[in-house]
Amino acid sequence: VFAAKLGANNILVTIVETQIVGDSPEKNPEIISASLKSFNALLNKQPDLFDAESLSLVIKLIQEFKENTQILSLTLQWLAKSCIMHENNRQNIIGADIMTYLKPLVGIKNDVIIRDLCACFRVEFGKAHEHARIIASSVLVELTQLLPEYEDPLLLSDMILTIASLAVRQELCVAVEDANGLEYVFDVMKKHPDHPKLNKEALKLLRALAGNDTTKVHIVQKGAAPIVQNILVIHKENEQVAGTALACISTLTLRVKDNSTAFFETGVAENIADVMTLHPKSKVVQRNAAWAIRNMVSRSRDQCDSFLSHGVEDLLNQAMKDHPSVIQDVKAALRDLGCKVHLKEEWTGTAEKAKIISNPYRGSYQKSYARKQIDDESDVRFLHSEQYSNAGM
């Protein structure tokens, strides 16, 4: 903070601009790299330092140093940090048509650059859906098609997370599917079944793509059910991955009977019960399990006996006691399983009825008001007789 107050940012801008002007023989990549490291340190929690001059410098660096991995990586990190907690910077960066300069970088086969690019693409801009559409229209298909090119699970996690962050519209879900995104994600999950972070992000991507109803059907038709069930079994002791897998099942089986049948045939009913037993204190796991159960049986009542045979009724009743905030989700699952459940009627109109009966006002207005508020004819007749007797009629 003190360095920024003394004008360190302006000094660094001057140093870097001096290094990249024209064909200056004074260009020194080490000086530029050191300056960019300082920029990144200064910008930490001080995004106000990033101004129009800084943005112009970023664009120049991207154009000038595409072949220098270190400088390009530091530049992309600087760009990503400038957007954190700063809406004006985000808007200005998109307004400067930054995607024109970032899109060509996707073709650079370099793990470091791809990871830093993904961080830039994932920044939550204002007008989120519109800006996601702009970014996605430039790089979503290319990024999806890069998945088979890499083997590093952590890099693949970043790429899949980025694709999920950009696929926020119906047509973008279709674009990922058309780019063979489903097959690529399934291959990644099959190759790295033991990697928790990678599979958690892959499950989230499947949920995001299922936002398009047609794509949701295709996801299961192309073999998602056994893959997701296998991930649930492998990572059943990992609360986060198991919870995400249950959420994925609930999304894919929502209002689609064939999808529910496909999951049921994998034996997932027993797996869901096992996960609920392993994580009784996890509200997220219990809620997501209730969602999955409810969505699977709501249109396939023949599955109820199988779920009940694995003890889910007792598990759901215990979840209601342990996690009152998700009681409605649990009750919905119990109801669709055909179990006994007490559904509380939140509003009966009793208090309003009593208020009308005790109202001292008389006349035709009171009679019409009573008819509006009380549907039961006997109550209306009783009310009118009381009014007439009190009025001496």
Highest mean pLDDT (candidates 41-45, 53-57, 163-167, 218-222): 218-222
Coil vs helix vs strand at 83: coil
pLDDT of residue 25 exceeding 60: no
Q: In the chain, pLDDT over 70 holds for what percent of residues?
A: 82
Choose between 25 and 129: higher pLDDT: 129
d(CA 171, CA 174): 5
**Could you tell me the pLDDT band of residue 314, with boundaries at 50, 70 and 90?**
very high
The C-alpha angle 379, 383, 384, rounded to 5 degrees, equals 120
Domain 237-338 in the same topology as domain 1-236? yes
Find out whether 292 and 275 touch, Cβ atoms under 8 Å: no
Given a contact cutoff of 8 angstroms between Cβ atoms, the answer to whether 38 and 12 are in contact is yes
Q: For 179-202, how does the pLDDT look when each residue is reduced to its tens digit (9 = 90+)?
A: 999 999 999 999 999 999 999 999
The one-character DSSP state at 343 is: -
Tokens read off for 94: 């998109």
Q: Can you give the pLDDT at residue 386?
A: 40
The mean per-residue pLDDT over the stretch 73-79 comes to 93
| Residue 112, amino acid | V
Could you give phi then psi for residue 324, rounded to 5 degrees? Answer: -60, -25
User: Is residue 241 predicted with pLDDT exceeding 70?
Assistant: yes
Q: Which of 155, 129, 153, 125 is nearest to 143 (CA)?
A: 155
Check residue 150 and give its pLDDT.
Answer: 95
The residue-averaged pLDDT of 70-89 equals: 88
pLDDT band at 168 (very low <50, low <70, confident <90, very high): confident
Q: What is the pLDDT of residue 378?
A: 41
CATH number of 1-236: 1.25.10.10
Q: Kindly list the domain boundaries of the chain, sorted by start residue.
A: 1-236, 237-338
Q: Given pLDDT bands bounded at 50, 70 and 90, which one contains residue 367?
A: very low
Q: What percent of the chain has pLDDT over 90?
A: 62
pLDDT of residue 356: 55
Q: What's the pLDDT at 124?
A: 59
pLDDT reported for residue 268: 97
CA distances from 103 to 30, 107, 155 (A): 26, 8, 18
Please state which CATH number belongs to domain 237-338. 1.25.10.10
pTM of the model: 0.83
Condensed to tens digits (0 to 9), the pLDDT of residues 101-130 reads 999 999 888 999 999 999 988 875 555 667
